[in-house]
Amino acid sequence: MTQNAIEIQGLQKTYQSGRNAPEKNALKGIDLDVLAGSIFGLLGPNGAGKSTMINIMAGLVRKSRGSVRIWGFDQDENPRQSRAAIGVMPQELNLDPFFTPRGALEVQAGLYGVPKSQRNSDEILDMVGLTDKAEAYARTLSGGMRRRLLLGKALVHAPQILVLDEPTAGVDIELRQMLWANIRKLNAERGMTIILTTHYLEEAEEMCDEIAIINQGSLVARDSTANLLRQMDAKCLVIYPMEPPKTLPSAKNIHVTRRNDGALAIAYHANETTAENALSAVRDAGIAIRDVKTEQADLEDVFLKLTRSA
């Protein structure tokens, strides 16, 4: 048994988009290991290189440089084994409109050389909640159903590693919960290693044991979710005053801005000061509070912080 599901070293990707178009360095030398059995989050803003990385792991995009080992198999030396160990749910809803869900699963199983006797289309259809749509044409399926079918397709060859590229971008809450339930189940019951990309920090926070953050083709952070969140201790206390304040609160380690809706946004770092101190600064400024809420740091803040300190 390998301990790392994925081992990536010095990974680079340069896209040549056209004869006279400039080259695009989408990945600038990435080293990354993913522990077998974990749920791993690959985070980054749009254009960071997440899909490129995932598609390289899956053997769908050719790398320019570096080495990639999937489940212990070097991608260049053992392309067949390394492909067989990984299943991908892509970001794009690329489904053949003329296949039914059952047909699409059977074709996919055929592509991966799964013998008829070992196929489990019924079980997969059941898992992704498409049993009653098994014989419907893909073009009649809703966006959510298509996404579920893509998850099913990623599972036909029972891969050890499941990779999901922005599985919940733009999906409704019900589907999101179903996808998460499925992912947790695959991880807990089959020990499947899960790698997913997302730009929702809360989602990564809730689901992932470990997180890597990439920005403009480079790795800017790689840690356990708990450690990373400890770093991301930026908080914001939003105060709605009874009346427009004459003076703004001020104190050490808080930064106050006035918002268009009349609210006062008090930014601080949890390791430097407390909400109590921020609130006393408000009281000291003679401001009566009508309402108050807190805002967590979002991924945007985290990026600013990480790219500034890098």
Q: CA 45, CA 66: separation in Å to the nearest integer? A: 23
Does 90 help bind ligand ADP (rule: CB under 6 A)?
no
Q: Which residues contact 160 (CB under 8 A, 6 or more apart)?
A: 5, 36, 71, 85, 86, 192, 193
Does 15 help bind ligand ADP (rule: CB under 6 A)?
yes
Q: Which is nearer to ligand ADP, 44 or 101 (CB)?
A: 44
Amino acid identity of residue 269, one-letter, is H
Q: Which is nearer to Mg ion, 42 or 264 (CB)?
A: 42
The β-bridge relationship of strands 65-70 and 210-215 is unpaired
Q: CA 105, CA 143: separation in Å to the nearest integer? A: 17
Does 52 help bind ligand ADP (rule: CB under 6 A)?
yes
Q: Which residues contact 10 (CB under 8 A, 6 or more apart)?
A: 29, 30, 31, 65, 66, 67
Helix %, strand %, coil % for the chain, to 5? Answer: 35, 30, 35
Least Å distance, CB 309 to Mg ion, is: 25
Q: Which is nearer to ligand ADP, 39 or 214 (CB)?
A: 214
Q: Which stretch binds Mg ion (CB under 5 A): 45-53, 65-73, 133-141, 229-237?
A: 45-53
Rounded to 10°, the helix 143-155/101-111 angle is 30
What string of H, E and C letters represents the secondary structure of 228-264? HHHHCCEEEEEEEECCCCCCCCCCCCEEEEECCCCCE
Q: Which is nearer to ligand ADP, 50 or 222 (CB)?
A: 50
Exposure of 243 in the CB half-sphere (CA atoms within 13 A): 5
Does 146 help bind ligand ADP (rule: CB under 6 A)?
no
Least Å distance, CB 58 to ligand ADP, is: 13
Q: Which stretch binds ligand ADP (CB under 6 A): 47-55, 141-149, 225-233, 249-257?
A: 47-55
Q: CA 280, CA 8: separation in Å to the nearest integer? A: 50
Least Å distance, CB 170 to ligand ADP, is: 14
Exposure of 129 in the CB half-sphere (CA atoms within 13 A): 14
Candidate list 6, 8, 34, 50; residue touching ligand ADP; CB under 6 A? 50
Does 200 help bind ligand ADP (rule: CB under 6 A)?
no
CB neighbours of residue 291 within 10 Å: 10
Does 51 help bind Mg ion (rule: CB under 5 A)?
yes
Rg (CA), the chain: 23
Candidate list 49, 72, 167, 241; residue touching ligand ADP; CB under 6 A? 49
Q: Which is nearer to Mg ion, 48 or 237 (CB)?
A: 48
Does 55 help bind Mg ion (rule: CB under 5 A)?
no
Does 8 help bind ligand ADP (rule: CB under 6 A)?
no
Does 221 help bind ligand ADP (rule: CB under 6 A)?
no
Residue 185 DSSP SS3: helix
Does 44 help bind ligand ADP (rule: CB under 6 A)?
yes
Q: Which stretch binds Mg ion (CB under 5 A): 23-31, 89-97, 132-140, 179-187?
A: 89-97
Q: Which does 249 bind (CB under 5 to 8 A by kind): ligand ADP, Mg ion, none?
A: none
Q: Which residues bind ligand ADP (CB under 6 A)?
A: 15, 17, 24, 26, 44, 46-52
Q: Which residues bind Mg ion (CB under 5 A)?
A: 50-51, 91
